[in-house]
Amino acid sequence: MTTRRTFIAGTIATAASLASNSSESSAASVGRVAALEHTLNKAERGTDMQDQAEDPRITRARLSGPEQVTKNATVAELGPGGVMKVLVQGSNEWVCVAGDENRIGSPPMCMNPLGMQWMMDAMQGKPKPGNAAPGMIYMLCGATQRSNTDATDKTGPAIPIGPHWMITWPFDAQANGLPTTVRDKGAWVMFAGTPYSYLHVCGSPWEGNEYHAGDKAIWTMNYARP
């Protein structure tokens, strides 16, 4: 009988630098590292389901994204500088972390490889993120952070940020009619005008009522500004 595992696999932490040093796409590179880990740690698995039930960090990490991706995601802890410790090895390309409730700017989140590259680059203080295509990060539990304008701010007072998801790509707010201010609904460009500018979308993409052909239609168009 295996008891709770405490193996450490820090290789994902180097995924971002690996990606930038090789000619293959960053997504493929991160995926390859994850696949390698999967193979290496397979023998140590077997009590994952028990671990998930026991460890509130794992539950919290998985709640940060939609079930569709978090169910089979790798769950990890992210230390200073982006050092990663894997708690549960997953089978898809997503990585969920529980964060630290007692630290500002350390929310639970779930990242795809390009989102993770963006996040790692930010945590490691790189002048700009290395992702060459948009990444995705879910923070559906909400968050706190230091600044809406400066990704490197380590001293500002906490800003409350509601549940949201992030498209890590530098959208031009002004050119696209997007706000740049913190709000509790809608979307805005955070860190606007900086290399870490990205699209911050409030809420969850799974909110609202679905419409399917045959449902009773309700006309919702409204010719006034909300």
CA distances from 188 to 119, 197, 209 (A): 18, 10, 23
Of 155-184, which residues contact Cu ion (CB under 5 A)?
166
Please say which residue, 90 or 107, places its beta carbon nearer to Cu ion: 107
Q: Minimum CB separation from Cu ion for residue 114, in Å?
A: 15
Please say which residue, 37 or 105, places its beta carbon nearer to Cu ion: 105
Which span sits near Cu ion by CB under 5 A: 14-22, 23-31, 57-65, 138-146? 138-146
Residue 161: strand, helix, or coil = strand
Q: Minimum CB separation from Cu ion for residue 182, in Å?
A: 11
DSSP code, position 2 = -
Residue nearest to Cu ion (CB): 139
CA–CA dist 198, 189 (Å, integer)? 6
Reported in sequence order, the residue ranges of the chain that DSSP labels E, i.e. its strands, are: 74-78, 84-88, 95-97, 109-111, 135-139, 143-145, 159-161, 164-168, 187-190, 198-202
Please say which residue, 110 or 166, places its beta carbon nearer to Cu ion: 166
CA distances from 2 to 46, 59, 90 (A): 8, 21, 18
Q: Minimum CB separation from Cu ion for residue 95, in Å?
A: 15
Q: Site for Cu ion (CB under 5 A): how many residues?
A: 2
Please say which residue, 31 or 162, places its beta carbon nearer to Cu ion: 162
Q: Minimum CB separation from Cu ion for residue 186, in Å?
A: 15
End-to-end CA distance of the chain: 59
Q: Minimum CB separation from Cu ion for residue 173, in Å?
A: 16
Of 108-137, which residues contact Cu ion (CB under 5 A)?
none
Output the six-digit token pair for 50.
Answer: 């028990």
Please say which residue, 10 or 163, places its beta carbon nearer to Cu ion: 163
Q: Which of 34, 58, 120, 139 binds Cu ion (CB under 5 A)?
A: 139
Please say which residue, 26 or 168, places its beta carbon nearer to Cu ion: 168
Are 73 and 110 in contact by the 8 Å Cβ rule? The answer is yes
Output the six-digit token pair for 171.
Answer: 């959208």
Q: Minimum CB separation from Cu ion for residue 125, in Å?
A: 18
Q: Which residues of the chain form contacts with Cu ion (CB under 5 A)?
A: 139, 166
